[in-house]
């Protein structure tokens, strides 16, 4: 059991040192959105924190939402199909 705890602790310490995260209490190392960096410049850019969260999280959330809806509709169609065939109890 102690080997498992030691391995888990090592993985958590390794994970805590990831790029973009300072410690457990902060969300990102830099600002989430910087208006001057995005709009008031000749070379617009997004902050690293915005790229790591919004640009990755938004498509993932949309995929999960539509995937769950698709599965729900698919299951309803299968129930109707089984009921019409007389195999659904």
At 5-21, the pLDDT tens digits run 555 555 544 444 445 44
> Is the pLDDT reported for residue 26 higher than 70?
no
At 41-71, the pLDDT tens digits run 899 999 999 998 999 999 999 999 999 999 9
Residue with tokens 């391995």: 7
Q: What is the pTM of this model?
A: 0.50
Would you state the structure tokens that stand for residue 22, as one six-digit string? 């300072």
The arithmetic mean of pLDDT across residues 69-88, rounded, is: 78
Which of 38, 63, 60 minimizes the C-alpha distance to 48?
Answer: 38
* CB contact at 8 A, 27 and 57: no
């Amino acid at each position: 059991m102690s080997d498992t705890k030691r391995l888990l602790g090592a993985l958590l310490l390794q994970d805590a040192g990831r790029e973009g995260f300072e410690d457990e209490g902060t969300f990102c190392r830099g600002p989430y959105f910087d208006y001057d960096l995005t709009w008031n410049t000749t070379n617009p850019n997004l902050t690293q924190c915005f790229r790591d969260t919004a640009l990755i999280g938004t498509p993932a959330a949309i995929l999960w939402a539509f995937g769950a809806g698709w599965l729900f509709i698919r299951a309803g169609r299968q129930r109707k199909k089984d009921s019409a065939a007389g195999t659904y109890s």
